Amino acid sequence: MVNVLEINGLTVDVPGRRVVDGLSLAVPAGRVVALVGPSGCGKSLTARSVVRLHDPGAGVRLGGTILLNGTDVLALARRELRGIRGRGVGYAFQDAAASLNPTVTIGRHLVETVAAHDAGDPRTLGAAALKRCGLPTEDVWDVRPYELSGGQAQRAALAVATVLEPDLLIADEVTTALDPVTQAEVLDAVRAQAAEQGRAVLLITHDLAVAGRWADEIAVLSGGRVVEHGPSTAVLDAPRAEFTRTLVAAARLADRNDPDRNDSVSPVPGDPLLSLRGARRVLKGRGRTTVALNGVDLDVRPGEAVAVVGRSGSGKSTLVGTLAALDRPVAGRVFADGRDVWGLRERERRALRRRGGLVFQDALASFDPRYTVAQVVAEALRSRESVDALLERVGLDPAMGERRPATLSGGERQRVAIARALAAGPAVLLADEPTTGLDVLAQERILALLAGLRRDEGLAIVFVTHDLRVARRIADRVVVLAEGAVVEDVPVTGLDFAIHPETRALLATTPLLAAANELDVANGGQRAPHGS
Amino acid sequence: MSATDRSVVKGPDAERPAVARAAVEHPTAERPARPGFLAVRLRVRRPGVWAAGVVLATLVLAAVFAPLLTSYDPIATDTTATGVAPGSPGHPLGTDLLGRDLLARLLYGARTSLLVGLAAAVITVVGGLLLGGLAAAGPRWLDELISRIADVLLSLPMLIVVLALAAVMGPSLTTVILAVAATSWMPVALVARAELISQRERLYVRAAHALGLSRGEVLRRHLLPGAVPPIASIAAFEVAHAILTESTLSFLGLGVPPNRPSWGNLLTEAQAHLLTGEWYTVAFPAACVVVTILAVNVLASAVDRREGRAW
């Protein structure tokens, strides 16, 4: 088999630090090679080095050789490099909607790429590329990127990246923000590029289960080097490198029921802390109206962990906003401690909000950019004295208080957000996708922190996620949302026997890491009693 | 002052008169960073900012202590010393054609000009912020009303509005201040409105509401500090604009009464001498106007551009 891409001894230096240190990797034609590693390990830097797509202001320096069909990319002049970008290498980014120009239609994106390389009839080539990515040309050609759903936008971006039939496709975290059903659609399209078109595909991901399901080979990146590289099944079933074992173990934990959870406090039967009755919320946008919540009934009892699961756009975040007494439903009622939230006076409602903790997916955006970590937490406390204690409670060094949240890692930011949410001593923590976008190690630490808070303090948690693995790990009860309605509300142990098509679709598309024998053990050991 | 606390402005303000401090730096004025209050800090590392502060403070002090710095009466004529050139004994900056001491006239004129400039800028910025805030936070009709009035005023030549006001109210210091404020609050209001609206949709504002903060608290802690940098640069412009407008109005005879010295009045009277050799009667007041405007602009640039951005 021919190696389309051969990286030898690649080094990438950013000012002050060497991120990639002697990385070597080969991607043969017709294969999907996944480059896996935690955040900040240099995955994206490596991928961008292949087309030298670094931020010119960042002072990135490259060393080693990157051979693309035998040509050393690092030795090319700018003009020759432009010839390779788009034509020899297609690049798909994590945030597809942001990587496409919102003022330009999908069709023009394709035409521009073809015209830049003077490669033939744009319309024919563009239509063929869209078809390969599973998008009907007539539906998307004249449409602007923001009019597409997340999955469609990502597939359109893939079509733009592959319109000139490049030998190599780089898919950089293309599904990180997508729900499992959409993720499966996109990655199936990526896989088809390799299987049907014979392209070499470099799939960058932090999700081992994704790599295991869609990649032929896995290369594990740690400390700037590839510590292990082999066929997917071999790497996942019998990891040789110490670091791979850690990653696999962390990912497995997320797949299985958490052993800690069995000895955690069981929900106190009692009056619900929060309830929704027939909640209906309509979002009015430009020219269109979306029913985000359509008659939702939900109860959250003390000490209970409820996972709210659903695809993008199913109303999960709206549900959290409604539970937090921030968004007022157009119909239906919201009760907190048995009181009708929207029947209260503004002052009392504010007091209610103060007693609930809210954590957002994008922690950084939820902090005032002018504030330090300590100020963020202190604002919720309304005093400064116990900021240090709170930071310690979520596993952060109190010395971090003086830093700006932007200088922290994703996991650390999310801990700051949790510290802020805990400041007022809430009975319920509302967490909106707090681990989406975090790598498996950081995610594991956040989940362990939440499990510990539940166990030690009897905190009730409403945890929104599109990842069923996370839901299984954290929750007693799973609520599945589809098109603004609750279609499933079952104990987590009953999830495998759910029958609603939406739930089945989520279950079927969620990639699991456990090898066949492990799954049997898990099923036989823990789930059989409920099954029989 | 130690090097470490220079990032929070305290030093030079302390010995500056309170009026000037509030006016020059409002609303960029800084208080030590208490958590929760305006958490914006000026970064005063550049020597130019210090220099500008010193220049402005000197001008303000000179205006306040004018009687101590010169023994001449700014409006007393001295027929024995008319048209004396700068550098003459007893008249360091010379006298005008009526024999009035130019230094004394500049010092007393600074009182009028700085008062007009700073007072009008404060009214403009505070009023503009208030109206912009109301437009952003209030009901839709109020937003429309304020925005449309601003548009209409922006589309009218400023001088016509000011002339009309001055004609109705009669020439006086108050007229000048009100006329300037009435014709220059629009940019502040429109920018404040746009900034507040764009920030209102940010996640950290939602997070603040989720913490149970009232609308006022959110406005004060999270929205206003973000709007400060653009408004600061407009505020600097407004000070300059007010001083210039005072000069213009006085020049046209509609501003400060001619018997009261102001930089604008000095220029008005000197217009006839521009080409007759008494260049200094024009140059000195003009230089004062230019130096003040430059100093205010440099000071306003001290508000860090990056404040208010996620970086």
CA distance B19 to A83: 64
- Predicted pLDDT at B150: 92
Indicate whether B94 belongs to any domain.
yes
Strands lying side by side in the sheet with A225-231: A89-92, A168-172, A200-205, A32-36, A217-222, A225-231
For residue A237, what are the contacts with CB-CB under 8 A and spacing of at least 6? Answer: A515
CA distance A27 to A174: 18
Contact residues, chain B, for A365 at CB < 8 Å: 202-204, 310
Indicate whether B7 belongs to any domain.
no
Indicate whether B82 belongs to any domain.
yes
CA of B51 to nearest chain A CA: how many angstroms apart? 27
Mean pLDDT, all residues of chain A: 83
Q: Which residue of B has its CA nearest to A420?
A: B211
| Tokens at B2, concatenated | 């130690």
Are the beta carbons of A409 and B73 closer than 8 angstroms? no
- Domain positions in chain A: 3-255, 273-509
- Residue B305 three-state SS: coil
Strand-pairing partners, residue B91, are B88
- Predicted pLDDT at A194: 86
- Predicted pLDDT at A531: 35
pLDDT at B238 over 80: yes
CA distance A507 to B170: 81
The C-alpha R_g of chain B, in whole angstroms, comes to 22
- Predicted pLDDT at A42: 83
Q: Do A356 and B206 touch (CB under 8 A)?
A: no
Are the beta carbons of A69 and A138 closer than 8 angstroms? no
Same fold, A3-255 and A273-509: yes
CA of A158 to nearest chain B CA: how many angstroms apart? 30
- Residue A225 three-state SS: strand
Indicate whether B205 belongs to any domain.
yes
The one-letter code for the residue type at B174 is T
Contact residues, chain B, for A386 at CB < 8 Å: none
Residue found under tokens 């922290």: A408
For an interface test with A, give the residue of B204, B205, B309 to mutate (most A CBs within 10 A): B204
- Predicted pLDDT at B304: 53
Distance of CA A465 to the CA centre of its chain: 9
For an interface test with B, give the residue of A283, A360, A366, A370 to mutate (most B CBs within 10 A): A370
Picking from B202, B208, B225, the nearest residue to A370 by CB comes out as B225
The one-letter code for the residue type at A513 is L
Indicate whether B296 belongs to any domain.
yes
Q: In chain A, what percentage of residues exceed pLDDT 90?
A: 12
CA of B165 to nearest chain A CA: how many angstroms apart? 42
Q: Do B204 and A365 touch (CB under 8 A)?
A: yes
The one-letter code for the residue type at B12 is P
Lowest-confidence pick of A3-7, A377-381, B223-227: B223-227
pLDDT in tens, A403-434: 888 888 888 888 899 999 888 888 889 998 88
CA of A420 to nearest chain B CA: how many angstroms apart? 9
Mean pLDDT score, A461-467:
89
Q: Write out the residue range of the structural domain in which residue B255 sits.
A: 45-304
Are the beta carbons of A216 and A33 closer than 8 angstroms? yes
CA of A141: how far to CAs of A35, A108, A119, A144, A366, in Å?
32, 8, 19, 8, 36
Most confident of A36-50, A263-277, B269-283: A36-50
pLDDT in tens, B86-140: 777 777 777 777 777 888 888 888 888 888 888 888 899 899 988 998 888 888 8
Check residue A269 and report its DSSP letter: P
For residue A228, what are the contacts with CB-CB under 8 A and spacing of at least 6? Answer: A218, A219, A220, A235, A239, A240, A241, A243, A244
State residue A481 phi and psi, 5-degree precision: -105, 140
Q: With an 8 Å Cβ cutoff, is B203 touching chain A?
A: yes
- Predicted pLDDT at B240: 77
Indicate whether B103 belongs to any domain.
yes
- Predicted pLDDT at B305: 52
Picking from B40, B210, B310, the nearest residue to A326 by CB comes out as B210
User: How, if at all, do strands A485-491 and A477-482 pair?
Assistant: antiparallel
Band (A385; pLDDT cuts 50, 70, 90) = low
Q: Which residue of A has its CA nearest to B304?
A: A370
Contact residues, chain A, for B213 at CB < 8 Å: 350, 379
Q: Do A356 and B203 touch (CB under 8 A)?
A: no
Q: Which residue of A has its CA nearest to B309?
A: A369
Contact residues, chain B, for A352 at CB < 8 Å: 212
Picking from B212, B226, B311, the nearest residue to A353 by CB comes out as B212
For residue B45, what are the contacts with CB-CB under 8 A and spacing of at least 6? Answer: B6, B7
Q: Do B221 and A379 touch (CB under 8 A)?
A: yes
- Predicted pLDDT at A461: 92
Residue found under tokens 């800028």: B121
Q: How many CB atoms neighbour CB B108 within 10 A?
A: 21
What CATH number should be reported for the domain holding residue B57?
1.10.3720.10
For residue A394, what are the contacts with CB-CB under 8 A and spacing of at least 6? Answer: A415, A416, A418, A419, A422, A449
Mean pLDDT score, A449-474:
87
Contact residues, chain A, for B203 at CB < 8 Å: 360, 362, 365-366
Distance of CA A102 to the CA centre of its chain: 22
Q: Is the dihedral of CA B185, B186, B188, B190 positive or negative?
A: positive
| pTM recorded for the entire structure | 0.72
Q: With an 8 Å Cβ cutoff, is B225 touching chain A?
A: yes
- Predicted pLDDT at A201: 92
Mean pLDDT score, B248-257:
76
- Predicted pLDDT at A514: 56
Are the beta carbons of B278 and B96 closer than 8 angstroms? yes
CA distance B131 to B118: 19
Element of type H or E holding A354: helix A346-354
Picking from B39, B204, B211, the nearest residue to A353 by CB comes out as B211
Distance of CA B135 to the CA centre of its chain: 24
CA distance A82 to A98: 21
Q: With an 8 Å Cβ cutoff, is B204 touching chain A?
A: yes
Are the beta carbons of B261 and B75 closer than 8 angstroms? yes
Band (B7; pLDDT cuts 50, 70, 90) = very low
- Predicted pLDDT at B74: 76
pLDDT at A289 over 80: no
Are the beta carbons of A27 and A33 closer than 8 angstroms? yes
Mean pLDDT score, A455-481:
88
Count residue pairs from A and B with Cβ separation < 8 A.
71
Picking from A355, A364, A375, the nearest residue to B39 by CB comes out as A375
CA of A370 to nearest chain B CA: how many angstroms apart? 6
Picking from B214, B226, B310, the nearest residue to A406 by CB comes out as B310
Q: Which residue has the higher pLDDT, B309 or A200?
A: A200
For residue A132, what are the contacts with CB-CB under 8 A and spacing of at least 6? Answer: A159, A162, A189, A192, A193, A196, A197
- Report the phi/psi class of residue A108: left, alpha or beta, with left for phi > 0 and alpha for psi in -120 to 50: alpha
Q: Which residue of B has its CA nearest to A368?
A: B204
| Tokens at A50, concatenated | 């292949």
Lowest-confidence pick of A369-378, A512-521, B216-225: A512-521
Q: According to the 3-state scheme, what is the secondary structure of B79-92?
A: CCCCCCCCCECCEC
Band (A288; pLDDT cuts 50, 70, 90) = low
pLDDT in tens, A300-328: 988 889 999 988 778 888 899 899 888 88
Band (A530; pLDDT cuts 50, 70, 90) = very low
pLDDT at A515 over 50: no
Mean pLDDT, all residues of chain B: 75
Element of type H or E holding B181: helix B173-200
For an interface test with B, give the residue of A359, A379, A422, A428 to mutate (most B CBs within 10 A): A379
CA distance A374 to A463: 25
Mean pLDDT score, A184-213:
88
Q: How many domains, chain B?
A: 1
Indicate whether B38 belongs to any domain.
no
The one-letter code for the residue type at B109 is G
Q: Do B211 and A375 touch (CB under 8 A)?
A: no
CA of A185: how far to CAs of A20, A191, A316, B194, in Å?
32, 10, 21, 40
CA distance A125 to B66: 81
CA distance B83 to B75: 15
pLDDT at A399 over 80: yes
Q: With an 8 Å Cβ cutoff, is B206 touching chain A?
A: yes
Mean pLDDT score, A226-247:
89
Interface of A with B (CB under 8 A): 324, 326, 346, 350-356, 358, 360, 362, 364-371, 374-375, 378-380, 384, 406, 420, 424
Listed residue (A424, A421, A383, A416) closest to A398, CA to CA:
A416
Contact residues, chain B, for A351 at CB < 8 Å: 212
pLDDT at A203 over 90: yes
- Predicted pLDDT at A256: 53
Longest CA pairwise span in chain B (Å):
77
CA of B204 to nearest chain A CA: how many angstroms apart? 4
pLDDT at A532 over 50: no
pLDDT at A377 over 60: yes
Q: Do A368 and B212 touch (CB under 8 A)?
A: no
Q: Is the ipTM of this complex over 0.90?
A: no
Q: How many CB atoms neighbour CB A68 within 10 A?
A: 23
Topology of domain A273-509, per CATH?
A: Rossmann fold (3.40.50)
Strands lying side by side in the sheet with A356-359: A356-359, A428-432, A460-465, A305-310, A477-482, A485-491
- Residue A475 three-state SS: coil
Picking from A346, A354, A370, the nearest residue to B211 by CB comes out as A354
Listed residue (B143, B117, B148) closest to B131, CA to CA:
B143
Strands lying side by side in the sheet with A339-340: A289-300, A274-284, A331-336, A339-340
Longest CA pairwise span in chain A (Å):
72
Q: Do A368 and B36 touch (CB under 8 A)?
A: no
Match domain A3-255 to its CATH number in 3.20.20.60, 3.40.50.1360, 3.20.20.70, 3.40.50.300: 3.40.50.300
Band (A249; pLDDT cuts 50, 70, 90) = confident
- Predicted pLDDT at B303: 65
Indicate whether B215 belongs to any domain.
yes
Q: Do A360 and B207 touch (CB under 8 A)?
A: yes
CA of A379: how far to CAs of A386, A417, B35, B223, B241, in Å?
12, 12, 7, 15, 39
Band (A384; pLDDT cuts 50, 70, 90) = low
Picking from B36, B39, B210, the nearest residue to A353 by CB comes out as B210
Q: Which residue of A has its CA nearest to B211?
A: A354
For residue B213, what are the contacts with CB-CB under 8 A and spacing of at least 6? Answer: A350, A379, B221
CA distance B46 to A467: 51
The C-alpha R_g of chain A, in whole angstroms, comes to 24
For residue A505, what are the contacts with CB-CB under 8 A and spacing of at least 6? Answer: A181
CA distance A468 to A456: 25
Measured in residues, chain A has a length of 532
For an interface test with A, give the residue of B211, B220, B221, B224 to mutate (most A CBs within 10 A): B211
Lowest-confidence pick of A174-188, A353-367, B89-103: B89-103
Q: Which residue of B has its CA nearest to A423?
A: B211
Q: Which residue of A has its CA nearest to B35?
A: A375
The HSE-up count of residue B86 (CA atoms within 13 Å, CB side) is 11
Q: Which residue has the higher pLDDT, A163 or B22?
A: A163
CA of B41 to nearest chain A CA: how many angstroms apart? 9
Q: Which residue of B has its CA nearest to A380?
A: B211
Listed residue (B269, B272, B266, B268) closest to B288, CA to CA:
B266
| Tokens at B108, concatenated | 């007393």
| Tokens at A129, concatenated | 């590329």
pLDDT at A503 over 60: yes
Q: Which residue has the higher pLDDT, A500 or A57?
A: A500
